[in-house]
Amino acid sequence: EDKVVQSPLSLVVHEGDTVTLNCSYEVTNFRSLLWYKQEKKAPTFLFMLTSSGIEKKSGRLSSILDKKELFSILNITATQTGDSAVYLCAVDGASGSRLTFGEGTQLTVNP
Amino acid sequence: EAGVTQFPSHSVIEKGQTVTLRCDPISGHDNLYWYRRVMGKEIKFLLHFVKESKQDESGMPNNRFLAERTGGTYSTLKVQPAELEDSGVYFCASSQDGWLAGDTDTQYFGPGTRLTVL
C-alpha cells in the first residue's frame, strides 16, 4: 500500500524565520509529488514535482524532489503570518491518478 | 474562473439518516475525485470519475456509500444509512485531463463538506 509521511507534524516559528517541511514516500509507479496549502477550507495547489533535482520556486516558497531517496522538501523563507496553514504532501503513485496524502504539517507563524 | 464548489459546507445528521453531498467541478474538467478526511487521519481517496464513468472506486469504504455523476457534470455522494464513523470532511477535486493524458494533471480541490453524524 502506498504511504506518505510528513514531518514535523507541527511547527511554530516567528516571522522572518526559514522553515523546511519534509515529505517521504513509498509508492508504486511514482508519477508525481504535489504540495498543497490548506488554510481554512480548500487545499490550494502549490507545486507539482516529477523530476529529481529540479527546484520549483514561487516567491518565498520552493520545493525539490529526490526520487532516489524518495523524499521532497518544501522551503519557506522569510515566513509571514499569512503562511500559517496546514501543508499537505501528496503522491500520485497508482493508476488512475488517485493521490495518497500525508497527514500534513501544521505551520504556525507568530508575529 | 470558478473553482470547485461543494454543498453543503456542513451537515449534521443522526445515525441512520441519509445525507447527500454535492460537488460541482471546474467547468470542462472531465476528471472528478472524492476524498475524505476523518478526525486525526490523512486525506484518503474514495473514488474517481472520468466524465460519467467510475474509473476507480476502490477507496469506497462500503456499500452504504453511493456516488453518481449523471451527465458528466456535477457529482453526488450519498451516505445511507449514515454511521458514526462516517463523520469527517469530504473533499471533491477535479482535473482536466487526468490519467488519460499519460501524466498527472493537477487536481484542484473544493472547500469540503464537514459531515457530523450524531
* Tens digit of each residue's pLDDT (9 = 90 or more) over B46-87: 999 999 999 999 999 999 999 999 888 999 999 999 999 999
Closest residue of B to A103, CA-based?
Answer: B42
Number of domains observed in the structure of chain A: 1
pLDDT of residue B100: 53
Q: Is the pLDDT of residue B40 over 90?
A: no
Does B74 contact A at CB distance below 8 Å?
Answer: no
Does B45 contact A at CB distance below 8 Å?
Answer: yes
Residues of B in contact with A41 (CB under 8 A): 111-112
Cα B57 to Cα A54, B46, B86: the distances in Å are 34, 6, 17
Q: Which domains does chain B have, with CATH numbers?
A: 15-117 (2.60.40.10)
Mean pLDDT of chain A: 93
Average pLDDT value for residue range A94-100:
76
Cα A101 to Cα A31, B37, B44, B53, B101: the distances in Å are 14, 10, 7, 24, 22
pLDDT of residue B93: 96
CATH number for A68: 2.60.40.10
Q: Using CB atoms, which residue from B33, B95, B104 is nearest to A31?
A: B104
C-beta of residue A74 within 8 angstroms of C-beta of residue A46? yes
The domain of A62 spans 3-110
pLDDT of residue B96: 86
Write out the three cell numbers for A52: 529529481
Percent of chain B with pLDDT over 70: 93
pLDDT of residue A41: 86
C-beta of residue B92 within 8 angstroms of C-beta of residue B82? no
Size of interface A-B (CB pairs under 8 A): 67
Q: Quick check: A42 and B56 CB within 8 A? A: no
Closest residue of B to A32, CA-based?
Answer: B104
Does B53 contact A at CB distance below 8 Å?
Answer: no
Residue type, B80: Q
Does B111 contact A at CB distance below 8 Å?
Answer: yes
Q: What are phi and psi of A92, to 5 degrees?
A: -95, 105
Over chain A, what HEC string results?
CCEEEEECCEEEEECCCCEEEEEEEECCCCCEEEEEEECCCCCEEEEEECCCCCCEEECCEEEEEECCCCEEEEEECCCCHHHCEEEEEEEECCHHHCEEECCCEEEEEEC
pLDDT single digits (tens) A33-62:
999 999 988 999 999 999 888 899 999 999
CA distance A90 to A104: 9
Q: Which of residues 11-70 of A touch B (CB under 8 A)?
A: 31-32, 34, 36, 41-45, 48, 50
pLDDT of residue A28: 83
pLDDT of residue B70: 85
Average pLDDT value for residue range A25-33:
89
Of chain B, the end-to-end C-alpha distance in Å amounts to 37
CA distance A33 to A25: 9
Q: Is the pLDDT of residue B27 over 70?
A: yes
Q: Is the pLDDT of residue B104 over 70?
A: no
CA distance B108 to B32: 10
Top residue of B9, B53, B60, B104 to mutate, by most chain A CBs within 10 Å, is B104
Does A93 contact B at CB distance below 8 Å?
Answer: no
Cα A8 to Cα A26, A73, A86, B27, B37: the distances in Å are 18, 11, 11, 37, 19
Pick from B17-26, B74-83, B89-98: least confident: B89-98
SS3 assignment, position B84: helix
Residues of B in contact with A10 (CB under 8 A): none
Average pLDDT value for residue range B3-26:
97
